[in-house]
Amino acid sequence: MKLRVAHLYPDYLNIYADRGNIAVLTQRAELRGHSLEIESVGLSGEIRSSAHDLYYVGGGQDREQALIAPDLAAKGSALIEAVLGGAALLAVCGGYQLLGRGYRGRDGSTMPGVGLFPHETVAGSTRMIGDVLLECEPVPGERRTVAGFENHAGRTLLDGGAVPLGRVIHGHGNDGESGFEGCRVQRAIGTYLHGPLLPRNPWLADWLLAQAIAHATGEDPPVFVEVPDELAEEAHRVAAARAKSRGGRRR
C-alpha cells in the first residue's frame, strides 16, 4: 500500500534532526511491505483534508515559528478536519506548540495556534533541557516507554480532561510541574521529544503507520508483528539511561 504523507513546512521546521522521523517512517513502512508518498506543504501549499493519511510537523527556532504561525493557523480548519476524519499526525516541539491554541511570549506577544490540541503554551524564564523517559499506554492495558530529548522554554498547559502522550518518569515534560508530556487527540500525537524521536522508539513509528493504514483502508489499525532492530533498541536504552541519571522521578 502507498501511504500519503504531508510534511508541513520542511524548509522552516527542520531543526533537532527531526527529518530523521520521516526517514524512520519510510524504513518501517518498507519493512511492512508499504511505501510512503511524501508531499511537502509550505507557505504557498494547501492542506486538503482527505488527501493524506499522515501529517508531520517538525520543530523550529522562534523566528521560523513566528514566520509560519499565521499561515498554519489559516490552514487549521482543514488540518482539524483531517484528524477528526481519522488521519494520523505527529507534531514535534515547535509544531506541537503551534497545534494548540497559541503561544504567548514573555513580552506579551502571541503566535496564533491551530486549536487541534487542547492546550496553551506560555514562555518560561528558563529552558527545560535533557533526556526524558515517559510511560505511555497507546492501547488500553499495553504500557510502553518512550525515550527522547527535550529543549524548550515554553510551558504547555493541558486543559482539564486532555489526554497526554504519557506520564513523565524522568525529565520535565510539558511544563515541569504536571508530570504530563505531550498530548493525544484521536490518531494525532504532539510531543516535545525530538533528537529525533522515532529512531529511539520504533514501536511509536509502527503505531503511527498502523493508524495511517487504518485511515487509508477505512478498517481497524493492523496489528504488526514486532521487527527486531538492535540499533534502535540500543538507542532507546542509552537515552533511557541518560534520563534516569537526571533523577527527578515523577508519577
pLDDT tens, residue by residue, 180-218: 999 999 999 999 999 899 999 999 999 999 999 999 999
Asked if residue 73 belongs to a domain, the reply is yes
What CATH number does residue 222 fall under? Answer: 3.40.50.880
Please indicate, yes or no, if residue 148 is contained in any of the structural domains.
yes
Into how many domains does the chain fold?
A: 1
Q: What is the pTM of this model?
A: 0.95
- Ramachandran category for residue 141: left, alpha or beta (phi over 0 → left; psi -120 to 50 → alpha): left
Any idea which residues carry the catalytic annotation? 93, 194
Instruction: Confirm whether 146 is domain-assigned.
Output: yes
226 domain residue, yes or no: yes
Q: What percent of the chain has pLDDT over 90?
A: 84
Q: Considering the domain boundaries, does residue 197 fall inside one? A: yes
Cell triple for 74: 489559516
Q: Domain limits at 200?
A: 2-246
Integer Cα distance of 112 and 119 in angstroms: 12
251 lies in some domain: no
178/172 Cα distance (integer angstroms): 9
* Residue pLDDT, tens place only, 136-185: 998 888 899 999 999 999 999 999 999 999 999 999 999 999 999 999 99
Domain assignment present for residue 202? The answer is yes
- Alpha-carbon separation of residue 164 from 52, 80, 135, 136 (angstroms): 24, 18, 11, 9
Within-domain flag for 201: yes
> What confidence score (pLDDT) does residue 247 get?
64
CA 225 to CA 32: how far, in whole Å?
Answer: 9
